[in-house]
Structure 1
Amino acid sequence: MNDTTVQHKDFFIVSNKIFDFNLPANTIAVYCCLLMFADREKLSCFPSLRMICEKCHLTKNTVIKCLRSLEKIGLVQVKLRKRWNNSNSSNMYYLFDPSVVNS
């Protein structure tokens, strides 16, 4: 990287195709929140439900409903994770590009 190159890590890009799904604003907010946390190459992340709630200013029930909606249409895949002692950990979220998912 040379002196004139600036790396921006404080933003993310969302495909315009997200609006083709006619999703409620809360669901788009949850998708964007997951994108914000996602690894740019693998498009996966593992924020806690509490963190998603805080970032989106939504209740836990609303976030869960949004995640189910996103999973149902194929924009997100949710994988449960466990700790070494078999207690629950944060979920792993795999995100899919709206331009390759059928709306």
Structure 2
Amino acid sequence: MGYFTLLYSSELPHRARSVYMYLSDRSGKEGKCYPAIGTIARELKLSRSTVKRAIADLEKSGYLQKEQRWRENGGKSSNMYYLKRPDSG
């Protein structure tokens, strides 16, 4: 079975599928990456709001875990995203 087979057959909206594939392409062997919402939106030619909705869809369905990252001065940084393989549970 291909890597994205279950993702393709899922009930997820196309925005979530696109964002998952983008994050998968950007992640390392550990399945984690930390692109900014604005970067994802710009590169996928989606609005920031659409990307945020897609990330929420992926979290709710168990395909993604999001963790807030912080700068040394206490300010927010980009989120860390941990991907789950669609066929792993």
Secondary structure of the equivalent of 2:12?
A: coil
Deviation (angstroms), 1:20: 2.7
Contact 1:14 1:32 in 2 (8 A): no
Aligned to 1:27: 16
Deviation (angstroms), 1:15: 2.0
Describe the superposition over 1:43-102 as per-residue Cα deviations: whole angstroms up to 9, x where unpaired.
00000111100121111111001000100110000000000001110100000000012x
- Residue 48 of structure 1 aligns with an amino acid whose one-letter code is A
Describe the superposition over 1:15-39 as per-residue Cα deviations: whole angstroms up to 9, x where unpaired.
2110232212111110011011100
Higher helix share: 2
CA RMSD of aligned residues (A): 1.3
User: Kindly, what percent of the aligned residue pairs are identical?
Assistant: 31
The 1-side partners of 2:43 and 2:13 are apart by: 17
- Aligned residue pairs: how many? 88
- In structure 2, stretches of 5+ residues that fail to align are none
Ranked by relative contact order (alpha carbons within 8 Å, sequence separation 6 or more), the top structure is: 2
Could you list the runs of 4 or more consecutive aligned residues of structure 1 that deviate by over 2 angstroms after TM superposition? none
- For normalisation by structure 1, the TM-score amounts to 0.80
- In structure 1, stretches of 5+ residues that fail to align are 1-12
The 2-side partners of 1:14 and 1:46 are apart by: 21
- For normalisation by structure 2, the TM-score amounts to 0.92
Which 10-residue stretch deviates more, 74-83 or 21-30? 21-30
